[in-house]
């Protein structure tokens, strides 16, 4: 692991220059969604127990970039390289997170506070730390298959044994519904397993899932296809509105998205964010900042102020000490002088 960058005035200047370069690049290439995904996939490998992974630029390593979940992200890594060449001082870890923050901002989303100083790593975690969108899908798929088989059996029974049809069909429906519930439960548990490992909460899971307000899925990358919202280049709360409105022609819902809807704890946040965009923006900005700082402790302005206050206290204490010492010297001088007079 490289040492952390020295965040001095020059480094901060380079960050601001990179921010401007990213704004220009992202708006000219319309690549906000893939930049946000890059930032999330670099950070989302964090493990709070082992303190490994996280936003450290390791996604640029060939080994990690080739993980199945990162399919397609080489495009964004190469785009960021253009900005890195112009601003060689800043770390990849800072660059990728800054790209995520800029992507949200220039598509109309909330301002996410960015603190620089992440260090780069060349160590990549093993594959499998990011969520699997298909979780809950296999059982869902098997329930669809089950439906098809059931339908064939029913059709057969219709012909030769009509009286049995209703009974078999209704028992099949019960199994099917419970299968659906189980698959959603498994999907919600999977999301909790992944995000709790990062040290994030249920609220973070739902707020960050709102990142799917941007972009689309590509069959050659993930096997899924389509956008979650009608305007995939606009950051708003429409992901949650669409989620509550259910299946719609042309719009995507991943099995994990559906799991968010089925879980009572998650659903509370979905309903809140669908009706109150300000609440979504406020929570999203907090969760995104947390995600972008997993395993990284920036020296925030508040901690600098605390430092200043501490230094001030020490100075004041020293001043009192000096004044007391001076008073003792002056008093003993007068005491000595008056004693001499008395003699
Ligand atoms: C909750 C678990 C998550 C799962 C299972 C998941 C899964 C996926 C999948 C399958 C895709 C499609 C990739 C492709 O085919 O190109 C995708 C795209 C995307 N994801 Fe997620 N994701 C999750 C969380 C997040 C989070 C937390 C963010 C950001 C805060 C995010 C941001 C995005 C964006 C912006 C895209 C669109 C990329 C593009 O258009 O190229 N995702 N995600």
33 lines ligand 1 (CB under 6 A): yes
131 lines ligand 1 (CB under 6 A): yes
C-alpha 205/C-alpha 266 separation (Å) is 8
Which atom number of ligand 1 is nearest to the Cα of residue 34? 41
- CB of 106 closer than 8 Å to CB of 21: no
Mean pLDDT, range 42-54, rounded to an integer: 98
CA 312 to chain centroid: 38
C-alpha 99/C-alpha 38 separation (Å) is 8
* Protein residue whose Cα sits closest to atom 12 of ligand 1: 217
Q: How confident is the model at residue 240 (pLDDT cuts 50, 70, 90)?
A: very high
* Residue 7: count of CB within 10 angstroms of its CB: 16
Q: In angstroms, what is the span from residue 126 Cα to ligand 1's centroid?
A: 20
Q: In angstroms, what is the span from residue 51 Cα to ligand 1's centroid?
A: 24
97 lines ligand 1 (CB under 6 A): no
- Residue 41 is a catalytic residue: yes
* Protein residue whose Cα sits closest to atom 13 of ligand 1: 217
Substitution candidate for ligand 1 out of 200, 217, 222, 280 with most atoms within 8 A of CB: 217
* 3-class secondary structure per residue, the chain: CCCCCCCCHHHHHHHHHHHHHHHHHHHHHCCHHHHHHHHHHHHCCCECCCCECCCCCHHHCHHHHCCHHHCCCHHHHHHHHHHHHHCCCCCHHHHHHHHHHHHHHHCCCCCCCCCCCCCCCCCCCCCCCCCCCCCCHHHHHHHHHHHHHHHHHHHHHHHHCHHHHHHHHHHHHHHHHHHHHHHHHHHHHHHHHHHHHHCCCHHHHHHHHHHHHCCEECHHHHCCCEECCCCCCCCCCHHHHHHHHCCCCCECCCHHHHHHHHCHHHHHHHHHHHHCHHHHHHHHHHHHHHHHCCCCCCCCHHHHHHHHHHHHHHHHHHHHHHHHHHHHHHHHHHHHHHHHHHC
335 has pLDDT over 80: no
42 has pLDDT over 70: yes
311 has pLDDT over 70: no
pLDDT in tens, 22-36: 999 999 999 999 999
Which atom number of ligand 1 is nearest to the Cα of residue 131? 5
Q: In angstroms, what is the span from residue 337 Cα to ligand 1's centroid?
A: 85
208 lines ligand 1 (CB under 6 A): yes
Is the pTM of the predicted complex or chain greater than 0.85? no
Q: In angstroms, what is the span from residue 177 Cα to ligand 1's centroid?
A: 27
90: its two tokens? 């800043």
Residues of the chain above pLDDT 90, percent: 71
Indicate the average pLDDT of the chain.
84
Closest CA to 212 of 224, 199, 202, 200: 224
211 lines ligand 1 (CB under 6 A): yes
Q: In angstroms, what is the span from residue 53 Cα to ligand 1's centroid?
A: 19
140: its two tokens? 């869902």
């Amino acid at each position: 692991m490289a040492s952390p960058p020295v965040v001095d005035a020059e480094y901060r200047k380079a960050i601001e220059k990179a921010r401007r370069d990213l704004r220009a690049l992202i708006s000219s290439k319309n690549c906000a969604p893939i930049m946000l995904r890059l930032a999330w996939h670099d950070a989302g490998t964090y493990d709070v127990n082992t303190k490994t992974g996280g936003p450290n630029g390791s996604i640029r390593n060939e080994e990690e970039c080739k993980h199945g979940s990162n399919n397609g992200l080489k495009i964004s890594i190469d785009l960021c390289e253009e900005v890195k060449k112009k601003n060689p001082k800043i770390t990849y870890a800072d660059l990728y997170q800054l790209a995520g923050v800029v992507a949200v901002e220039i598509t109309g989303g909330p301002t996410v506070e960015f603190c620089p100083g992440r260090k780069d790593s060349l160590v990549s975690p093993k594959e499998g730390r990011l969520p699997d969108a298909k979780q809950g899908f296999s059982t869902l798929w098997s329930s669809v298959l089950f439906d098809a088989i059931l339908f064939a059996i029913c059709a057969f029974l219709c012909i030769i044994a009509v009286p049995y049809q209703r009974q078999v069909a209704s028992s099949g429906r019960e199994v099917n519904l419970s299968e659906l519930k189980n698959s959603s439960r498994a999907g919600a548990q999977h999301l909790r397993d992944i995000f709790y490992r990062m040290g994030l909460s249920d609220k973070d899971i739902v707020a960050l899932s709102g990142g799917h307000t941007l972009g689309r899925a590509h069959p050659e990358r993930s096997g899924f296809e389509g956008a979650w919202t009608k305007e995939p280049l606009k950051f708003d709360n429409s992901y949650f509105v669409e989620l509550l409105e259910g299946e719609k022609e042309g719009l995507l819902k991943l099995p994990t998205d559906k799991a968010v809807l089925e879980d009572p704890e998650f659903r509370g946040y979905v309903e809140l964010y669908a009706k109150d965009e300000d609440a979504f923006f406020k929570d999203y900005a907090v969760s995104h900042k947390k995600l972008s700082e997993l395993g990284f402790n920036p020296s925030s302005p508040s901690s600098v102020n605390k430092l200043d206050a501490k230094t001030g206290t020490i100075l004041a204490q020293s001043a009192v000490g000096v004044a007391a010492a001076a008073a003792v010297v002056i008093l003993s001088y007068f005491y000595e002088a008056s004693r001499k007079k008395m003699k």
